[in-house]
Structure 1
């Protein structure tokens, strides 16, 4: 019971801090995920482009950010991107001094990593649909945007969902890395609590329960989305 009191709210416990940290963790994941999905499609499109320069850039992008550890990417973005932005800004405004927000750096770093992984998911999904669908839609007189959004994308999405669901779980766990750049997420607050209370096993166990619960809830949502996507696909047939 004494340990459970450490999770109470107010000055006597760490419940409110952990709740704030959970909010930051979820916010980082929910902000990053849409950007990562959009960039996944853009990079996958670049890989299939008829332009050599665009194909080369997209393949290098995927190779680099799939190879670098997420932690290293985060550190490079937080420190070096900020320096680069200041160098460019000072070309126009000599006295400029721009500070990159740590949360924003986390979003950028995780977006780069997971869009590189997601681009392979999108490419595989497009191959699973096949060019025959596009050719058939074109024969019916549909324009290219209509072909993609009304014919190809719904079928691709059904193939993408399982892999994107796995990437979402990895993203949830990798948000813990942002604590290293002083973002007050769930892990950072837990480490602060441990430093104060000297109860590492208890707070790490609480973290484990929270992450497992998030994974379970995400799995339930993913199952619903997959059923809906399959139902929509069968309805379209």
Structure 2
């Protein structure tokens, strides 16, 4: 009964704080995922671009952010990006003062990391589809953009979803890193509860169960997407 009271939505319980932290964790993940997805396609396009500058930038970005630990990337973005923003702003507006929000820094850092990983997923999916599909679409009179969105992209998704599903699970777990830059996410509120109640085993167990539940829900969502994008006759 004592443990249940610790999770109540009251002054003595920590239920409302944990729920607030969960909302921040999910908001961070859902804000990062679409940005990382778009940037993944842009980086994959850059690797196959005709411009050597675009190819160099895409490969350099992917190499750097795949190599750095996520924690180090987050710290660099949070502290050094603020310095860069101040320098750029002061060039135009000497008296202006713009501070980088910790939540925004987390989104930027995680976007850079997971777009670097996602670009390899996109590139592999494009290679799995093959150039023949785009050439066949072109022979039917479709423009290059129409061929990509109507013919190539739907087939790429079938190859991308399993890998992006794994990246989504990694992203959910890596959101816990933002607690070190004072973002009140699920892990930070859990640590607050532990420091107050001195019950680490209970609250870490609750935290683990929450992440397991998120993983199970994500797995269900991934299975539904895979079934939806499967060729007719295979998804049933």
Q: Considering the TM-score relative to the shorter chain, is it more than 0.5?
A: yes
Structure 2: unaligned runs, 5 residues or longer: none
Please say if residues 154 and 233 of structure 1, whose CA atoms lie closer than 8 Å, have aligned partners that are also in contact. Answer: no
Q: Does 1:23 align with 2:23?
A: yes
The two structures have a TM-score, normalised by structure 2, of: 0.98
Shift of 1:128: 0.1
Shift of 1:144: 1.1
Structure 1: unaligned runs, 5 residues or longer: none
**Equivalent residue number for residue 5 of structure 2:** 5
Cα distance in structure 2, aligned partners of 1:232 and 1:152: 17
Secondary structure of 1:159's partner? helix
Cα distance in structure 2, aligned partners of 1:44 and 1:104: 24
Secondary structure of 1:42's partner? helix
Mapping of residues 94-173 of structure 1, within 5 Å = 94-173=94-173
Q: Does 1:202 align with 2:191?
A: no
Please say if residues 155 and 233 of structure 1, whose CA atoms lie closer than 8 Å, have aligned partners that are also in contact. Answer: no
Cα distance in structure 1, aligned partners of 2:85 and 2:231: 47
Cα distance in structure 1, aligned partners of 2:188 and 2:118: 28
Q: Deviations over 1:118-169 (max 9, x none)?
A: 0000000000000000001011110111011000000001100000000000
**Equivalent residue number for residue 49 of structure 1:** 49
Aligned residues: 235
The two structures have a TM-score, normalised by structure 1, of: 0.97
Shift of 1:234: 7.1
Secondary structure of 2:81's partner? helix
Cα distance in structure 2, aligned partners of 1:105 and 1:149: 32
User: Hey, which bits of structure 1, 4+ residues long, moved more than 2 A?
Assistant: 231-235
Shift of 1:232: 6.0
Cα distance in structure 2, aligned partners of 1:232 and 1:43: 31
Q: Does 1:73 align with 2:69?
A: no
Cα distance in structure 2, aligned partners of 1:63 and 1:233: 40
Shift of 1:12: 1.2
CA RMSD of superposed structures (Å): 1.2
Shift of 1:233: 9.4
**Structure 1 residues 174, 162: CA separation in 2 closer, same or farther (over 3 Å shift)?**
same
